Amino acid sequence: MPNPTRATIQDVARLAGVSAKTVSRVFHGSDQVRPDTRERVMAAAERLRFRPNRVARDLRRGGVTSTVGFVIGDIQNPFYFTVAGGIEYELAQHGYTMLLATTDDSAETERRVVDAVLSQGVRALLLIPVADDQSYLEGERHFGTPIVGVDRPLENLLSDTVLLTNRAGMAEAVRSLTALGHRRIAFVANPASVHTVRERLAGYRDALAEVGVSPTDRWLSLGDDPTASTRDAVVELMRSSEPPTAIVTGNNRATTATLQALRDLDSPCALIGFDDFELAEMLGISVVAHDAHALGRAAALLAIDRIDRPTAPPRRVEIATSLVQRGSGERPPHG
């Protein structure tokens, strides 16, 4: 198998018949190069498919790159990729590129992954936190690296943050169920300890309190073990002596697991999920929806603004959610 190597600045110089310094001047936009020489250099570069290493150039200058790092959780979660798409789109409008890394939703690996991204000399860091403490980034913030918490706030660190209206969104969903007469409403989530789910659980409790219902543990299925079966937990919930007549879920994965359980049991239980997901519309699943692409764009804009205004007060941006009714959440209580 051939093992081609990329052309170097010296290769371009030899083909164009100029010095490496002249090639460097061309790619730095210097006006000290004659037009015919510039054309010759660019033609040689195109023929060799030469691409200047801007990262190395910027680091040699002791500066940072035009790259912004984004550290996500589970690489298989489509929500993260939609957010990343929004970030990448907005960064491109301002001349930046994105470096993506993943923690696998592991608190133990977060710092190692973040350190690896920062070692690339990124211009700013956007982070969906998993660990309980991000104070390890205080030194980086002190040295001027803009840091933005995405989807969840960073703990023990002053930073810009972009979030969803998690609490209000879940409260709206539960109110729509109580308006139909539901009182035995379950909340299902795994993982349950992350900020977003804690806020959604608070919204669930807010809406039940408005109709005089104090939720009991028997209607809560809160897990923090990614290997545990949410489907099995829902089946157990529905086979209890006083099963819920409606279920709200804390995230898209809990929704799909709950949907599977309800279909296996042939249960008429109402269902509203937090986060839209592929096929939800076709299956008639009501959800609390949000624009993950807009969340990403807002995160990128916070980073860019922090680059331009490093001493500005920290900002918190919230992206609105909305209840999308498709049928599964509009069923009245049964039994």
**Distance (Å) of CA 24 to CA 19, 53, 62, 66:** 9, 11, 18, 19
Q: For residue 244, which of 295, 174, 158 has the smallest C-alpha distance?
A: 174
* Eight-state DSSP code of residue 223: -
Residue with the bigger pLDDT between 51 and 266: it is 266
Mean pLDDT, rounded, for 182-186: 96
Question: pLDDT tens, 135-160?
Answer: 999 988 888 899 999 999 999 999 99
Average pLDDT over residues 38-63: 72
Q: How far apart are CA 299 and CA 151, in angstroms?
A: 9
Would you state the pLDDT for residue 335?
Answer: 61
pLDDT at 327 over 50: yes
Helix (H, G, I), strand (E, B) or coil at 309: coil
Using CA atoms, how far apart are residues 33 and 211, in angstroms rounded to an integer?
Answer: 77
> In this prediction, what percent of the chain has a pLDDT beyond 70?
93
Residue 42 confidence (pLDDT) above 80: yes
CA 64 to chain CA centroid, nearest Å: 24
pLDDT of 220 above 70:
yes
Confidence of residue 46 (pLDDT cuts 50, 70, 90): confident
Among residues 104, 152, 105, the alpha carbon closest in space to that of 127 is found at: 152
What element of type H or E holds 52?
Answer: none
How confident is the model at residue 2, as a pLDDT?
40
User: Helix, strand, or coil here: 242?
Assistant: coil
Which ranges of 52-163 would DSSP assign to H, the alpha helix?
54-60, 78-93, 107-118, 138-142
**Integer Cα distance of 34 and 120 in angstroms:** 35
Mean pLDDT, all residues of the chain: 90
Residue pLDDT, tens place only, 61-100: 555 578 999 999 988 888 898 999 999 999 999 999 999 9
Q: Is the pLDDT of residue 3 over 50?
A: no
Q: Residue 11: phi, psi to the nearest 5?
A: -65, -45
Q: Considering the chain, what percentage of its residues have pLDDT values greater than 90?
A: 72
Closest CA to 290 of 271, 272, 273, 276: 276
pTM score, two decimals? 0.79
What residue has token string 């982070």? 127
Residues facing 101 on adjacent strands: 71
Q: What is the pLDDT of residue 86?
A: 97
Kindly list the distances between the CA atom of residue 287 and the CA atoms of 63, 238, 305, 329, in Å, as whole numbers in the listed order: 45, 20, 33, 8
**Contact yes or no for 133/155 (Cβ under 8 A):** yes
Mean pLDDT check: name the lowest of 40-44, 148-152, 224-228, 296-300.
224-228
Strand order of the β-sheet with 67-72 is 97-102, 67-72, 124-127, 147-150, 160-164, 316-319
In the chain, the largest separation of any two C-alpha atoms, in whole Å, equals 86
pLDDT score at 165? 98
The DSSP 8-state label assigned to residue 159 in this structure reads -
Which of 281, 243, 288, 275 is closest to 262 using CA atoms?
Answer: 243
pLDDT value, residue 191: 87
Contact between 100 and 310 (Cβ < 8 Å): no
Q: What's the pLDDT at 5?
A: 67
**C-alpha separations of 333 from 13, 156, 206, 329 in Å:** 77, 44, 20, 11
pLDDT tens digit sequence for 246-302: 999 999 999 999 999 999 999 999 999 999 988 999 999 999 999 999 999 999 999
